[in-house]
Amino acid sequence: VPKKYYEYLQSLNDRQREAACSDVTIPLMIVAGPGSGKTSTMVGRVLTLLKEEFPPSNILAMTFTTAAASEMRDRIGTVVGKAVAKEIVISTFHSFCLQLCRTHAEKLGRTSEFIIYGNGQQRRAVIEAERLLESDKNNGLGDANKNCDGDIKNSFKDKAKKWQKFVTQAKASGRTPEEYEKKGDLTGASILRHYNEILRSCNALDYHDFINSSITLLTKFPEVYDECRNTWQAIVVDEFQDTSAMQYYLLKTLASHNRVTIVGDEDQSIFSFNGADVSGFDSFRRDFPNHKEVRLSKNYRSTRAIVEAATALIHNNTKRQSHKLVETDNPSGNKIIVKECHSEDSQCAFVIDKIIETTSSSVEGCHFGKIAVLYRRQITGKAFQASFRNRKIPFNIHGVAFYRKKVIKAIMAILKTTLPGCDDDAPWHQAFKAILPGDKEEKKKITQGRKVLSALDSLSKLVEREQSVSVVISSAGDMLPQKYLLEKRAIVDADGGKLLNEDNDIRSVLQFLMDDVSDFLSTHFSSSVDTSKTEEKGCASTLKAFIDYISLRETENFRSRKEENKNSITLTTIHQSKGLEWDVVFIVQANDSEIPLLHEYNGTVKEAGSTLEEERRLFYVAMTRARKKLYILHVTLLQPSRFLREIPAHLLEVQGEGTVRRTPEQPVNIPFDQPEGDTSVERPMVVRNETSPFPEMDQPCLANDFLKRFEIEDRAIISHIFHQWAKKQA
């Protein structure tokens, strides 16, 4: 037993230590608030398993993001050495299941080469399923779908969205077409059946399929079950509150040996749109009746001001499972600064000023890596990216924002077409060859090498030479035969869409992608896969594994943590920030209709209520990421977030924009970025609430109108693409 193990245990408090060292054969559940050391205790638990001589390769640790996984590996590595830490399988539910599905693909009616369908491809498959349903109906086979009437052009997007939501929900809850049939929902059953059939015939699985198919493998194939049970002798799960019902079922099946630890906080459950279900805690209590339950109550992360403010906020949620006691011995620290800004530009400017102020003062010793800017929606991050770039402030583009970049999509689509199995006639497709630089011999060398790095390198060199990614990508699009419909779409999307705007930073995007490649090569192959085997199988599997890796990054919402050490500001959505901490945190665009983001929900009151509670949890997660300093910013065009009114005034320092401060009598100035010629936007009258520095929501509609405007461009592109596609189909 390494000495460092005991040192690590010493760093825990009594209750944490007791939990970490408790009998590993008894299921353990740790429920506690943010910053209370749940993850730290879980690391201690893994160390205890190692001490008890569980082979590291038989321990499975489930984390929610890749960032959390690598963080955990590092922490374990410092105690037991990197070599041992590498052998532990630390994985997200999705990548764990993907691996299982690949290994047993033929049992699922796929080949191990199967493709992963992301959001875009899923939507296209849904549209196709809908088209098939229509043609069933025309042949007199289907039932009458009354919703299909009306102007198809206008209702198309809504319908596709609706059906995609339906398919996603069906899969998240594990329902089959037969179950819908039994309930009398013939249209639903038919869409689902067509959809599944399309995926099967395309040799594809979507993200929900990984989980559901893994359950199928475990429950219908005893040999798979035995293999898993022998392999995964102990399981630990972090962020348990965001486990979906299907994921829980999988966990329960895998953990029938009782050597299982779960840690979580129901107040931080923020993925219910993905099927996350806090009732998992109750299920665990029921399914593992001999479990031990531990509560931690001390926050080690944040100043007292932050802890008190966050606690006051979350008290407004009525549907909490338990009221956890949260206290801290930390100093009370600065008040939370609430800053009102006239425009998004001045919001960026304020953040940049503060960043420069903080990092240049030697007293605070704070570097870029200890600062994060958090926002509710990706689009908010874009303005910050641009300003940071202009001011040469280093930053990480985290998460989906990066992988949803059209140029990345296009590059990945091109790479996909080059996979063997995608095209049996010509495994290395013309399109790729056509855009590769060099003469025939050179092209051959690159394609035969089948190396991700060299393929991407060639692509980026070419892009650099042409000075434009659109030229490269559209030529690839032109070369692709019709059968690559979905890939073509991604390319057309990239080319016809907003790619030109993205051209400016194409080099940095490609650089990020290259970083991913080296990251991928080092983490992926040094741990679970034997390198010699990889060489045997040929590098095609490397490219495929890389595409998997990138596809998963898109769902797991996180880029590698690597750059973060490199002294860069983190720009991320609140969703992706969970489990992490920074010295200084800026929550930006904290406006009503942004957080809480309610414009999408026009459902029943009950729905709106539970949505509001989830949004509050989201704000709670955001606030509790900060260790020392928290800034909350909002812009004047929209109302400040109603959550600000739930924080006791004495914990806040409210700062106005300076010269043009609002008063109850004086209407707010509409900022200069009001769209030209648009007089429909009325000036909001702001009435101040006596006890709170924040005005009541008096014009919710204004915000909604404003938000809608953001999406017009997207909508135009989508409908353009659809019309082109429909024309070709005809």
Could you tell me the two tokens for 214?
């893994």
Nearer to ligand ATP, 265 or 493 (CB): 265
Say whether 33 counts as a known binding-site residue: yes
Name the binder of 399 from Mg ion, ligand ATP, none, CB < 5-8 A by kind.
none
Phi, psi for residue 432 in degrees, rounded to 5: -65, -45
- Residue 578 C-beta: closest distance to Mg ion, Å: 8
How many residues sit close enough to Mg ion to count as binding (CB under 5 A)? Answer: 3
Query: Which neighbouring-strand residues pair with 631?
Result: 337, 586
Among 39, 244, 303, 589, binds Mg ion (CB under 5 A): 39
Q: How many residues bind ligand ATP (CB under 6 A)?
A: 17
Residue nearer to Mg ion on the CB measure, 145 or 321: 321
Span near Mg ion by CB under 5 A; candidates 32-40, 442-450, 515-523, 589-597: 32-40
36 annotated binding-site participant: yes
Report the residue closest to ligand ATP, judged by CB.
37
388 in Cβ contact with 352 (< 8 Å) = yes
Task: Find the shortest distance in angstroms from Cβ 265 to ligand ATP.
Answer: 5
CA angle 178, 182, 183 (to 5 degrees): 120
Residues 520-539 binding Mg ion (CB under 5 A) are none
User: How many whole angstroms separate alpha carbon 84 and alpha carbon 49?
Assistant: 12
SS (H, E, C) 592-628: CCCCCCCCCCCCCHHHHHHHHHHHHHHHHHHHCCEEE
Evaluate whether 239 touches 69 at the Cβ level (below 8 Å): no
Q: Give 474-479's long-range contacts (Cβ < 8 A, gap of 24+).
A: 475/434, 475/435, 476/410, 476/414, 476/431, 476/432, 476/434, 476/435, 477/431, 479/430, 479/431, 479/434, 479/435
Q: Using the structure block, give the residue that is written with the tokens 């199988």.
A: 537
Residue with tokens 């929501």: 697
Partner whose footprint covers residue 300, from Mg ion, ligand ATP, none (CB < 5 to 8 Å by kind):
ligand ATP
Residues 156-179 as b/e (b if ≥16 CB within 10 A, e otherwise) read: beebbeebbebbbebbbebbebee
Contacts of 340 (CB under 8 A, 6+ apart): 633, 634, 635, 636, 640, 654, 655, 656, 657, 662
Site string for ligand ATP, 28-47 (x = CB under 6 A): ----x-xxxxxxx-------
Name the minimum Å distance from CB 331 to ligand ATP.
14
**Applying CB under 5 A, does 579 fall inside the site for Mg ion?**
yes
Scanning 8-16, 211-219, 447-455, 514-522 for contacts with ligand ATP by CB under 6 A, the matching segment is 8-16
Residue 376 beta carbon to ligand ATP: minimum distance, rounded to whole angstroms? 18
Is residue 79 close enough to count as binding ligand ATP by CB under 6 A? no
For the record, the structure tokens of 62 come out as 């489930």
Q: Is 33 in the site for Mg ion (CB under 5 A)?
A: no
Contacts of 217 (CB under 8 A, 6+ apart): 100, 101, 104, 107, 108, 224
Q: Which one of ligand ATP, Mg ion, none interacts with residue 265, CB within 5 to 8 A by kind?
A: ligand ATP
406 assigned binding-site residue: no
Nearest distance, CB of residue 499 and Mg ion, angstroms: 38
How many other C-beta atoms lie within 10 A of the C-beta of residue 20? 25
Distance CA(641)–CA(313), nearest Å, equals: 12
The least distance separating ligand ATP from the CB of residue 616, rounded to whole angstroms, comes to 16
Contacting ligand ATP within 244-303 (CB under 6 A)? 265, 268, 300-301
Between CA 86 and CA 386 the distance in angstroms is 37
| Site membership for ligand ATP, residue 12 (CB under 6 A) | yes
Indicate which single residue of 2, 5, 9, 13 sits in contact with ligand ATP (rule: CB under 6 A): 13
Identify residue 202 by its one-letter amino acid code.
C
- Residue 108 touches which of ligand ATP, Mg ion, none (Cβ within 5-8 Å per kind): none
Q: Give 292 or 382: the residue with its C-beta nearer to ligand ATP.
A: 292
Closer to ligand ATP by CB, 124 or 398: give it. 398
Residue nearest to Mg ion (CB): 39
Annotated binding site for ATP: 32-39
Contact residues: Mg ion, CB under 5 A: 38-39, 579
Contact residues: ligand ATP, CB under 6 A: 12-13, 16, 32, 34-40, 265, 268, 300-301, 579, 581
